[in-house]
Amino acid sequence: MKEIQIGPNEAGQRLDKLLKKYLKEAPGSFLYKMLRKKNIVLNGKKATGSEKLAEGDSVKLFLADETIGKFTGSPQSTKGQCFDEQKATDISFSVVYEDQDLLLLNKPEGLLSQKAKKGDISVADQVVQYLVQTGSLTSAQLETFTPSICNRLDRNTSGLIAAGKSLAGLQRMGELLQNRTLEKYYLCIVKGKITQPEHLKGYLKKDSRTNQVTISKRGDGEAQAIETEYMPIAWQDQMTLLKVHLITGKTHQIRAHLAACGHPLLGDYKYGDAGWNQKYKKQYKVESQLLHAYELKFPAMEERFEAWSESVHRAAVPQKFWRLIKETAWEHGTQEALEVQH
């Protein structure tokens, strides 16, 4: 027999949804059959699966340990060991902010946000590992709730990623991102001299075969409308340090949108200038786009999330990026550039 005590991270969802998370390998027909036969009960009573769970509820599974192990995908799950310490790796991100609901971290370049294939190391996996190791979550709690990242960055883009530590945190962050009330700012170095801010609009179409996007001024049925705003921080004849406000946030949006305007990112070998990139690859070992998710600005928030209200969080730029900022002879904005502190 296995008992699941409903806590704040499980409350508010239907019973059958919880069961599908916990017994993820079990067919739906099996779950509903067990409910009908009272092999799975809610607060000691027969349930249909449509019941909405509340904090303090008890779900009991009168199933063999072998059956539970089979359908959870882990024979050890009945012992509360769903986190495998043997597979733990070093945490490669740094923590920018943390409370009971939210973790803001600074992702290094080269680390995947989520796994692309089995065996990959990702931010999502490291977040779970970090929360277990710091005592924010137990292995037993992970059987019915998995913390998750709320936004993704390309492998070679560094900077701020938000992760929900609680169900409430995940849901609220999802709303902020969907409603675009959370403002996201990036730093990048682009080719050419830019002296004035600009608000760009266009349409983006992705080619799934090449994982590359194209930008156009007019859309068609498949293209998605995009908006990108930028403000120059420092410039000289060859390049500009930009602060970019990502308003929409589609695949490769900043990289492709700026390249389409004649200002490709330094180090971008997909949309950029190969000859220009090669020069800085030799001198500064720039092998991927210098794009950093630098700042998050929260709107006014309600009581539970009052700590987030109108707060601003910044992530230090990577050493390679910082060195180039410091060693560049800027025509304008040197002091402003140096305020982008490492």
Q: Tell me the residue type at 122.
A: S
**Is the predicted pLDDT of residue 79 greater than 50, yes or no?**
no
Q: What is the pLDDT of residue 84?
A: 56
Q: What is the pLDDT of residue 77?
A: 41
Q: What is the pLDDT of residue 238?
A: 95
Average pLDDT estimate for 117-126: 90
Q: What is the pLDDT of residue 95?
A: 97
283 contacts: CB under 8 Å, gap ≥ 6:
none
Domain layout of the chain by residue ranges: 2-79, 87-179, 183-338
Q: What is the pLDDT of residue 119?
A: 84
Averaged pLDDT score across all residues of the chain? 91
Q: What is the pLDDT of residue 73?
A: 78
Average pLDDT estimate for 109-131: 92
**What φ, ψ does residue 127 adopt, rounded to 5°?**
-65, -45
One fold for 2-79 and 183-338: no
297 contacts: CB under 8 Å, gap ≥ 6:
182, 183, 185, 310, 311, 312
Average pLDDT estimate for 295-312: 96
Share of the chain above pLDDT 70, in %: 95
**Is the predicted pLDDT of residue 206 greater than 80, yes or no?**
yes
pTM to 2 decimal places? 0.86
Q: What is the pLDDT of residue 196?
A: 97
More confident residue, 30 or 84: 30
Q: What is the pLDDT of residue 219?
A: 83
More confident residue, 78 or 130: 130
Average pLDDT estimate for 130-143: 89
Average pLDDT estimate for 62-89: 68
Q: What is the pLDDT of residue 76?
A: 45
Average pLDDT estimate for 246-271: 96
The number of angstroms, rounded, from the C-alpha of 246 to the middle of its chain's C-alpha atoms is 15
Return the number of other C-beta atoms located less than 10 Å from residue 139's C-beta. 17
**What φ, ψ does residue 87 adopt, rounded to 5°?**
-100, 5
CATH architecture assigned to 87-179: 2-Layer Sandwich (3.30)
Q: Residue 72: pLDDT band by 50, 70, 90 thresholds? A: confident
Pairing outcome for strands 291-297 and 158-164: parallel
CATH architecture assigned to 183-338: 2-Layer Sandwich (3.30)
**Does domain 2-79 match CATH 3.40.50.1100?**
no
Q: What is the pLDDT of residue 310?
A: 97
**Is the predicted pLDDT of residue 74 greater than 70, yes or no?**
no
Q: What is the pLDDT of residue 98?
A: 97
Q: Residue 326: pLDDT band by 50, 70, 90 thresholds? A: very high
Render pLDDT for 148-190 as a digit per residue (tens, 0 to 9): 999 999 999 999 999 999 999 999 999 999 999 999 999 999 9
| Contact status, residue 165 vs residue 103, Cβ threshold 8 Å | yes
**Is the predicted pLDDT of residue 85 greater than 70, yes or no?**
no
Render pLDDT for 20-43 as a digit per residue (tens, 0 to 9): 989 999 999 999 999 999 999 999
What order of strands is seen across the sheet that includes strand 2-5?
Answer: 2-5, 58-61, 40-42, 45-46
